[in-house]
Structure 1
Amino acid sequence: MKRHVFALDLVPDATKIAAYVDWHTKVWPDIKFSIIEAGIVSMEIYRFENRLMMIMEVDQTFSFANKAEKDAGNPRVQEWESLMDYFQQPIPGSVEGEKWALMSKIFDLKK
């Protein structure tokens, strides 16, 4: 199983942050299905202030390209992403047009 870790910022507005957190207590079933169908076995999002960190564990069938292609053709995923765009902003240093910035592991206690 492979793990990917991402960072993203929320718009620094307490009302928007609270709404974003609330949306993630009731993620639409078809969004969860699209995540699982892509080969994502586990996904967790953590928050400190307006900074988010997402941990994704994927199986051998997962690829970023396939996930992006399926998401682009899924109107419900596009609707969810548009809704989330209202709350999100790129993390400083991220690539233009990138929402979640892929983080690099710099330490592993097991190694």
Structure 2
Amino acid sequence: MQRMGMLIGIAADRIAEYKALHAAVWPQVLEQLRQANVRNYTIFLREPENLLFGCWEYHGEDFEADMKRIAADPETQRWWTFCEPCQLPLQSRAEGEHWAMMEAVFHMD
């Protein structure tokens, strides 16, 4: 199992919309995440900086292939058309990233 964290900005005027979307995530989107070996997924909001911090546990063996499976799903792609306009990707993110992935530096069970 691998713990992963990621960061992205959120438009101040879209926070309520983003919260409403995530209060009722589409079941098909959640199922795609489960099939891609994603567990214990949480998104936190930090205001007034308007940052979203996402963290999850990846329980698979081929992260790249699992993420490609999610990205290829038509219902997930449709979900992203609602979420992405709310998000403000960080300029410092790596090429090909939407959310900026973070390095784990500490964990306590």
TM range (shorter): 0.7 to 0.9
Within a 5 Å distance, the mapping from 1:36-47 to structure 2 comes to: 36-47=34-45
Cα distance in 2 for residues equivalent to 1:27 and 1:62? 26
2:103 is aligned to: 104
Gapped regions of structure 2 (runs ≥ 5): none
Whole-Å Cα distance in 2 between the matches of residues 52 and 12 of structure 1?
A: 11
Q: Which runs of 5+ in 1 are unaligned?
A: none
Residue of structure 2 in register with 1:25 after alignment: 23
Q: Compute the RMSD of aligned alpha carbons.
A: 1.8
**Secondary structure of the residue that 1:24 maps to in structure 2?**
helix
Q: Summarize deviations over 1:3-56 as a string: whole Å, max 9, x none.
A: 00111111232xx11110110000000000000110112100101021011111
Count of aligned residue pairs for this structure pair: 107
Partner of 2:97, secondary structure, is coil
The 1:100/1:62 distance shift into structure 2, 3 A limit, reads: farther
Give the match's secondary structure for 2:23.
Answer: coil
Counterpart residue number, 1:2: 2
Aligned 8 A contact 1:38 1:62 in 2: no
Q: Larger % of helix: which?
A: 2
Q: Normalising to structure 2: TM-score of the pair? A: 0.86
* 1:1-111 alignment runs, 5 A limit: 1-13=1-13, 16-49=14-47, 50-59=50-59, 61-108=60-107
For 1:4 and 1:107, the matched residues in 2 are separated by 12
TM-score norm. by structure 1 comes to 0.85
1:96 positional shift: 4.1
Question: Contact between 1:40 and 1:62, CA under 8 Å: does it hold in 2?
Answer: no
Q: Give 1:97 deviation, angstroms.
A: 4.4
